[in-house]
Amino acid sequence: MKNSDYTANENRYSTGMKYRRCGQSGIRLPEISIGFWHNFGGDDDFVNGKKILHHAFDRGITHFDLANNYGPPYGSAEENFGRIMSSSFTSYRNELFISTKAGYNMWGGPYGEWGSRKYLLSSLEDSLKRMKLDYVDIFYSHRYDPETPLEESMQALVDAVRQGKALYAGISNYPAKAAGKAYAYLSERDVPCLLHQGKYNLLHREPETEGILKQATEYGTSYIAFSPLAQGLLTGKYLDGKIPEGSRMSQDFFLKKDTLTEEMLSKLKKLNTIAEARGQSLPAMALAWVLRNDLVSSVIVGVSSVEQLNQNIEATRNTTFEDDELEMIGQIIR
């Protein structure tokens, strides 16, 4: 069956994209995955978003990462993906690995966020409708809920898999202790945790320092990193000490203006010097640094253009670091 507006590149799996196995499973993810947190919502350019996804798939990127409240407004990223899925990717569904999540605020009242069974399963139903899908490949508990029994949240994931609404279960933003309990609960019910998704970048190394990466591997779970460019701080656009108009920092919301201190600027410039010596841009080196770790299955990037996506893909060409490079980087970011 042909799609109405798109035919994929016949050589998409020969473009150089590499794939990494996820834990103890048959899943292999592309080293670069597309995240929908920004740039695909109702307030964004729909045509540009579709162009990015077409190009991503043409370059061998098969993983699209969504969540119920991505937008803005909430739900609109899933709605737009549903439109693109219907018009472009229907006949390629078996090649795509699509995720969604629930945990953060989505609707009002006591059952519109966190980790109750009612919220998680209701949200998944709504997500499937918005995305025009029968199932997602992985459904995540988006954050640990300290007030809901962990068993309740995890059983909701188990049941989503057993009902055929998700093929795999995952967790996101879980601290190490809660993650260990989640891994054990899911494993005991033969629905092992496929992925632990969390923040990991040159400036945020907690997955390493707190043992979260190693812990995941011990349970047969892989780690997938979001914010590999530290909300844009590692893109190189702030190296001159100025805040470009329209940049994420200029919005002073998720990336605060006061982040760009003299100390931070000095670190960014020193990191950029190492990147240049490697023949890479700062963002390419930042992505490569995350991917240097074999315990990471993929990095989730947010891109606003095809050109930016191509630059990110280039980072996968060299993810090997010499010991002296790692030592210099370590001295800078410690």
Sorted by sequence, the CB contacts under 8 Å of residue 16 that are 6+ apart come out as: 60, 313, 316, 317
Q: Alpha-carbon distance 124 to 278, whole Å? A: 44
pLDDT confidence band for 218 (50 / 70 / 90): very high
Tokens standing for 63?
């993983």
The pLDDT tens digits for 11-55 are 999 999 999 999 999 999 999 999 999 999 999 999 999 999 999
CB 290 within 8 Å of CB 296:
yes
The pLDDT tens digits for 229-247 are 999 899 998 898 888 877 7
- The pLDDT of residue 244: 81
The pLDDT tens digits for 83-99 are 999 999 999 999 999 99
Query: Rounded to a whole number, what is the largest CA-CA distance in the chain?
Result: 57
pLDDT of residue 4 exceeding 90, the answer is no
- The pLDDT of residue 12: 98
Tokens standing for 93?
């569904």
pLDDT of residue 3 exceeding 80, the answer is no
The pLDDT of 106-133, averaged and rounded, is: 98
pLDDT of residue 332 exceeding 60, the answer is yes
pLDDT of residue 119 exceeding 70, the answer is yes
The pLDDT of 262-283, averaged and rounded, is: 96
Strands 136-141 and 97-102 come out as parallel
CA dihedral sign, ordered 183, 186, 187, 188: positive
pLDDT of residue 2 exceeding 70, the answer is no
The pLDDT of 115-139, averaged and rounded, is: 98
Percent of the chain with pLDDT over 70: 99
| Ordered DSSP codes for 117-141 | HHHHHHHHHHHHHHHT-S-EEEEEE
- The pLDDT of residue 252: 66
Domains and CATH numbers, the chain: 12-239+281-321 (3.20.20.100)
- The pLDDT of residue 259: 84
Burial 160-196 (b: 16+ CB within 10 A, else e): bbeeebbbbbbbbbbeeebbbebbebbeebebbbbbb
pLDDT of residue 1 exceeding 70, the answer is no
- The pLDDT of residue 241: 83
The pLDDT tens digits for 293-331 are 999 999 999 999 999 999 999 999 999 999 999 999 999
For all residues of the chain together, what is the average pLDDT? 95
The pLDDT tens digits for 244-256 are 877 777 776 777 8
The pLDDT of 71-76, averaged and rounded, is: 97
Q: What is the pTM of this model?
A: 0.95
The pLDDT tens digits for 147-178 are 999 999 999 999 999 999 999 999 999 999 99
pLDDT of residue 118 exceeding 90, the answer is yes
